[in-house]
Amino acid sequence: MKNQLLSFTNLPGRKALLAVLFASFSLGACKENGPDVVPDVISKDEKAIIPAKNQRYLYKILESDNTESSAVTRVLAERDSAGVPVYDIENAIQYEEAGKLVLKYRAFSKDGLTTNEISQAAGLNAITEYIGSFAIIKSTEMSGLPQRQIFENKGTVGSKVTFSSAPVRQYMELEIPIEDGDPVSAEIECVVTYHEGKAVKEESVTTPAGTFNCTKWEYTYDLETKLTSDAFPPEESGVIYTVRLWTAPGVGIVKSEEFSGSDVTKTELQKIEK
């Protein structure tokens, strides 16, 4: 029972760790105390790959084992940073069996580039709240944040998507309660390294939310994981994932695919609510 539970594949916190490590969110370099309303004189980039205000974007997430989850993305606030609109955004992911993970982040568009970034505080807070719902966190460390993902807004074939050069590293020492058994101590280490990608196609994409003129992007990332405990043999793995991402101006992500062999995760926009 312990061996089955405590593998990285089956660990309840795996989805939270990966969701935070893969996310491209929050503008840590902008002013935290800017005004909530952007003045009318600020010019907004209509090609920015950022969700629109006053709307909720509902997504379905389907894993290769047919497990379904859902996510809701919405803009919480809009701020001014040296004349550039900065968007505070929330992405709430509801996993079927592993609870809810909420990420708060910011994004902005400047000089023809849409920048997303996850900050150190946002990443640690999301993981701590989520993992703390089923395990005791004895210690945690994270490096490589803020992590930036930058799209060229023109979105034509050959346009680049780039990332921060430093990998994202996460270490956690946990004590996990076991039903009808003593708690088990475990240590988890994850390292994600992103690689530059590009736009490979411009195409019309239809989802339950409607039809969108999209740019299809492709890039890869390496995921290295290590799980150790006195209760089972250590596990180590290294996997290369390919990401296909369809984006639209004023919407953000329309759909995505992440895969390595038979391990596939698909996300698709289901509805836009006001």
Question: Mean pLDDT in the chain?
Answer: 81
Give the pLDDT confidence score for residue 3 in this predicted structure. 36
The pLDDT confidence band at residue 93, using thresholds 50, 70 and 90, is confident
Q: Which residue has the tokens 């895969």?
A: 259
DSSP string, 123-153: HHHHHHHHHTTTSEEEEEEEES-SEEEEEET
Q: Tell me how crowded residue 260 is: count the other CB atoms within 10 A of its CB.
A: 14
Give the pLDDT confidence score for residue 127 in this predicted structure. 72
Give the pLDDT confidence score for residue 24 in this predicted structure. 34
What average pLDDT does range 92-112 have in this prediction?
83
Quick one: what percent of the chain has pLDDT higher than 90? 43
Pair 145, 127: CB distance under 8 Å: no
Give phi and psi for 22, each to the nearest 5. Answer: -85, -20
**Cα dihedral 237→101→88→160 (10° resolution):** 30
**Cα dihedral 158→165→108→56 (10° resolution):** 90
Give the pLDDT confidence score for residue 250 in this predicted structure. 93
Give the pLDDT confidence score for residue 122 in this predicted structure. 66
Give the pLDDT confidence score for residue 41 in this predicted structure. 34
The pLDDT confidence band at residue 95, using thresholds 50, 70 and 90, is confident
What average pLDDT does range 206-226 have in this prediction?
95
User: Could you tell me which CATH number the domain at 2-273 has?
Assistant: 2.40.360.20
pLDDT tens by residue, 139-166: 988 888 888 899 999 999 999 999 988 8
pLDDT tens by residue, 162-207: 998 889 888 989 888 877 778 889 898 888 899 999 999 999 999 9
Q: Which residue has the tokens 């999301």?
A: 126
Token pair of 245 as six digits: 């991402």
Give the pLDDT confidence score for residue 10 in this predicted structure. 53
Instruction: Say which residues have a Cβ less than 8 Å from residue 162's Cβ, sequence separation at least 6.
Output: 149, 150, 196
Show the CA angle centred on residue 237, arms to residues 253 and 262, nearest 5°: 50
**For residue 28, pLDDT beyond 50:** no
Give the pLDDT confidence score for residue 25 in this predicted structure. 30
The pLDDT confidence band at residue 38, using thresholds 50, 70 and 90, is very low
**For residue 44, pLDDT beyond 80:** no
Give the pLDDT confidence score for residue 174 in this predicted structure. 87
- DSSP class of 112: T
The closest alpha carbon to 144, from 113, 170, 179, belongs to 170
Q: For residue 259, how far is the Cα from the chain centroid? A: 15
pLDDT tens by residue, 123-141: 667 777 777 777 888 998 8
Give the pLDDT confidence score for residue 227 in this predicted structure. 85
pLDDT tens by residue, 221-237: 998 989 898 887 888 98
Give the pLDDT confidence score for residue 225 in this predicted structure. 86
